[in-house]
Amino acid sequence: MLPPSGAVHVGRQPIFDRFGVVHGYELLFRGDAGAVEAGERGAYATSRVLITAFTEIGIEPLCGRHLCFVNLTREFLVGDLPLPFDHEQVVLEILETVDLDDEVVAAVARLVAQGYRVALDDYVFGLGHEPLLELAAYVKIDVLETPPARLAETVARCRKYGHLQLVAERLETPGQLDRARDLGFDYFQGYVLGRPQVVSAAALSPSRLARVELLSLLVGPSIPLARVVGLVTSDPALSLRLMAAANADALGLPVKVSSVHEAVLLLGVGRLRDWATLMLVSDLDDPGTHQLSAAITRARMCQNIAARMELPPEAAFTVGLVSAVAELLDQPAAELTVRLSLSQDVTEALVDGAGPLGELLSLVAAYEASDLPMLLAAPLPVEATARAYLDAVAYTGQIIAPRRAER
């Protein structure tokens, strides 16, 4: 048996109803067992919470049959990063830092139509989240930071939406709790009732190569199921994570799985791809973060340019990803292509730079090296190549969100 690579941690803070019964738990990022606040906010923190809660500790030990409230950033709402679980036990908290636009409103509407419950976190009337009041199931209001008159006004405005359930959060004194009860809040959360508890567990971390390999297998039009099962079973940590994901109650699967093969079959390609993506994002705090960032940027840039060159975007993404990972691992691309069982056109592009995909990869390499003569001779205008790169950088920046301290 392999030794654990370390411990994983997730914070949970209870939310009570008016009778003092636990209604649910908010799951919070914690970097270590002694942390009292989150040191991170953003896509990395959300991914780490989801991976830890669903595949390493387990929803049942964390929340029992209660609801779990999970903070989401824009990337998860609009689909740039996946939500690889069903809606039964999860409430999606929309952070107050999410800028509201038509894309976000439409995305939230789609999630609600799929059955997800949505909560507005740290809601303040007049800051722009009013269009979501029709869609939300919960509104969380910060009692500590809201002046009494504004608090009463906000509650009254929310009560005009009869379906909303109001959560008083950051309750720190008995007086604040009494005030929230008098104002008619439905649920209550804060230090006066229960501080966040850090739950820890030993964890195995899947190898970086295994995660990348799994993603590369799942992006193509033809999925080699036997190869996927073989890859997962070759990595004990990856096996444990995916079996835990398949067995998680919130996935809504009809049976419990007892083998990796069953887990792969029941999760399906879409779920597997979602979990593999989240594992990659959640582990980006490894020493190779900068290199992985560059790998994701190159893959995305290849995908962007493929659309302009009328090439298959999945294959282009794979070419960019595998070429970058080969550099990251200091291995010849030819060795990786054999191990990954890639298609002939992808293999020729990576090994010999041949074919349309090879031409695409050469163009991206020229841009990375600032090779202006080659860029000017390329079939794509330099401006279009630059736009593809800037989009790729923005995409990577959304995934590896800036570290922002949670108050």
CA–CA separation, 295 and 87 (whole Å): 32
CA–CA separation, 110 and 77 (whole Å): 10
Over residues 169-191, the mean pLDDT reads 95
Q: What is the 3 state secondary structure string of 271-331?
A: HHHHHHHHHHHHCCCCCCHHHHHHHHHHHHHHHHHHHHCCCCHHHHHHHHHHHHHHHHCCC
Amino acid at site 131: P
Please report the pLDDT score of residue 7 as a whole number: 56
| Domains, the chain | 6-201 (3.20.20.450), 205-282 (no CATH), 289-399 (no CATH)
User: Mind listing the pLDDT tens digit for each residue in 298-346?
Assistant: 888 888 888 888 888 877 877 887 788 777 767 777 776 765 556 678 8
- Residue 207: which pLDDT band, with cuts at 50, 70 and 90? low
In this predicted model, which residue has the larger pLDDT, 322 or 352? 352
Confidence (pTM): 0.54
CA–CA separation, 325 and 215 (whole Å): 12
Looking at 156-266, which runs of residues are DSSP E strands? Answer: 165-169, 187-188, 197-203
Closest CA to 86 of 102, 103, 106, 68: 68
CA–CA separation, 372 and 351 (whole Å): 24
- What is the rounded (10 degree) CA torsion for 348, 351, 353, 356? 30
Please report the pLDDT score of residue 404 as a whole number: 31
Write down the residue that tokens 């594992």 correspond to. 279
Question: Mean pLDDT across the chain, nearest whole number?
Answer: 77
Half-sphere exposure of 224 (CA within 13 A, CB side): 16
Percentage with pLDDT > 90 across the chain? 27
For the record, the structure tokens of 369 come out as: 């090296």
| 282: CB partners within 8 A, 6+ apart | 44, 47, 48, 50, 51, 52
In this predicted model, which residue has the larger pLDDT, 121 or 38? 121
